[in-house]
A and B are shown apart, each in its own frame.
Chain A
């Protein structure tokens, strides 16, 4: 049973370009979470999605960031017009159940560098 897959593992973008980060949850998991880890900081929640639904996006910056989890295919975190401050590690996690009380399985992360 493959774990949570994220790609690419490393992404370099110039300021103003778009970044697309992909996350394939574990088989059987329909809940996906995106977290951001800035250098020297802990993980910060961004968004929680189920298939075709955004459940909680309270941690998403209001502009330039969007996320989706379509019926088919991976979850996508999209960052438009990237800026240097977007450089961070972006982690995706999945769980089989809604709500708390169940551990989330994390992917290896995508390290975004904005030059």
Chain B
């Protein structure tokens, strides 16, 4: 079974529309990270969330971690073609593990 479930698997939106990507775990997460990956390239760090109820924003992207620290959402407002790519959530499933567990990613396409 997948420790981190990401949904949806893929998303196609019209430019200017808002969208949300979810990342869910059955376990308490000790750190939750959002990355963006362009096809064929490496991962770009977006945001890190650690506290229950925490919310962070950068430009038009907002990420939240729920109070239980088991679910996170990434929300993009007024999407643009530059937002297109694969969004990955990663998490520390153990307080001192070091390694991260990743979801399978959400492929976002933004139609102009």
B1 at interface, CB cutoff 8 A: no
Question: Given A101-B50, A104-B100 in contact, is the A91-B30 Cβ separation under 8 Å?
Answer: no
A74 at the interface (CB under 8 A from B): no
Q: How many residues of B contact A (CB 8 A)?
A: 28
In the complex, how many residue pairs between chain A and chain B have their CB atoms under 8 Å apart? 72
Question: How far does the Cβ of B10 sit from chain A's closest Cβ, in whole Å?
Answer: 11
Q: Which of B44, B45, B95, B101 contacts A45 (CB 8 A)?
A: B101
Residues from chain B with a CB closer than 8 A to the CB of A99 are 95-98
Asked if B103 contacts A42 (CB within 8 A), the reply is: yes
State how many angstroms separate the Cβ of B68 from the closest Cβ of chain A: 18
Answer whether A100 and B41 are a contact pair too, CB < 8 Å, given A45-B101, A59-B99: no
Residue of A33, A102, A108 touching B99 (CB-CB under 8 A): A33
> By the criterion CB–CB under 8 Å, are A42 and B31 in contact?
no
Check B112 for interface membership: any CB of A closer than 8 A. no
Instruction: With CB as the reference atom, state the residue of chain B lying closest to A108.
Output: B42
- CA A12 to CA B49, docked complex, whole Å: 38
Fill in one digit per residue for B11-44: 1 if any A CB lies within 8 Å of its CB, else 0: 0000000000000000000110101000011111
Q: Which residues of A contact B97 (CB under 8 A)?
A: 56, 99-100
A98 at the interface (CB under 8 A from B): yes
- Contact A108 B41, CB 8 Å, known A100-B94, A100-B95, A101-B50: yes
A residues engaging B (CB < 8 A)? 31, 33, 35, 41-45, 48, 55-56, 59, 91, 93, 95, 98-109, 111
User: Which A-B residue pairs are the 6 nearest by beta carbons?
Assistant: A100-B92, A42-B104, A108-B42, A106-B43, A43-B102, A99-B96
Other than the known A33-B98, A43-B100, what 10 A-B pairs have Cβ atoms closer than 8 Å? A33-B99, A35-B102, A48-B98, A56-B98, A91-B42, A100-B97, A101-B31, A105-B45, A106-B42, A111-B40
A-B contact pairs, 23 of them (CB 8 A): A33-B100, A35-B102, A43-B88, A43-B90, A43-B102, A45-B101, A45-B102, A55-B98, A56-B97, A98-B96, A100-B94, A100-B95, A100-B97, A100-B98, A101-B31, A101-B92, A103-B45, A104-B90, A106-B42, A106-B43, A106-B45, A107-B42, A109-B42
